[in-house]
Amino acid sequence: MNEKAYTYLKYAYEDKKNERDTAEEHYCELLNKKYKLEQKPIVAKYLNLLEEIEKYDDNFAKNDEILDQAFKFIQNSGYFIDTNEIYFYYGSFMNEDGNVIQVPRNSSSGEYDLYKDVESCKYIKNPISQREEFEANHKVIVFYKPYPSNRDFTSVHRDFLYTALDEGQEVACNKVLSRKY
């Protein structure tokens, strides 16, 4: 190492070490002040209050979480005996070499369509050859994009449930069936 590099290294090291030592001293002073303040009853009471508030900070469930829990309960309890039979077109699929592959709705290689009940979330597997008949006899929501996703379904499902809770099932049915996709 040449003299210039050595001098710079030594200077930088000493400078950073001094900064650290100063910060450490200041930190120790702050801890001592904190300790002294914590010994005062009013401050201890305040800190306990902050601690208690912090316990509640993240413990409030969001509306979607509450709805999901309530829905899972009724779903697992077997309460879905009948529904309004509104189905979400979930996509067209084919089997190839033991793998299930999603294909566009108008694909000639598709073998079956999946529909998901907007209320119960139960799937119906229907051969593509019977699509027209199925869709003529049921209320079906079709997203006009090649691959509808679970996010699309969840949006419709939650919209239905929230509307049903707030305004009734009839309004919820009309609302999800009249959505523009």
Inform me whether the pLDDT recorded for 5 exceeds 90: no
pLDDT tens per residue, range 160-176: 999 999 999 999 999 99
Spatial separation of the C-alpha atoms in residues 63 and 136, rounded to whole Å? 35
123 φ/ψ angles, rounded to the nearest 5 degrees: -90, 150
pLDDT tens per residue, range 46-78: 999 998 888 886 777 889 999 999 998 988 887
Inform me whether the pLDDT recorded for 40 exceeds 90: yes
Spatial separation of the C-alpha atoms in residues 42 and 63, rounded to whole Å? 37
Spatial separation of the C-alpha atoms in residues 181 and 176, rounded to whole Å? 10
Listed by start position, the domains of the chain span 3-56, 63-178
SS3 33: helix
Inform me whether the pLDDT recorded for 179 exceeds 60: yes
Place of tokens 């697992």: 76
3 state SS for 106-147: CCCCCCEEEEEECCCCCEEEEEHHHHHHHHHHCEEECCCCCC
pLDDT tens per residue, range 78-135: 777 788 899 999 999 999 988 999 999 888 899 999 999 999 999 999 999 999 999 9
Task: Give burial (CB, 10 Å; 0-12/13-18/19+) of 180.
Answer: exposed
pLDDT at 103: 92
Say if pTM beats, i.e. exceeds, 0.85.
Answer: no
pLDDT tens per residue, range 9-33: 889 999 999 999 999 999 999 999 9
pLDDT band at 144 (very low <50, low <70, confident <90, very high): confident
pLDDT at 181: 56
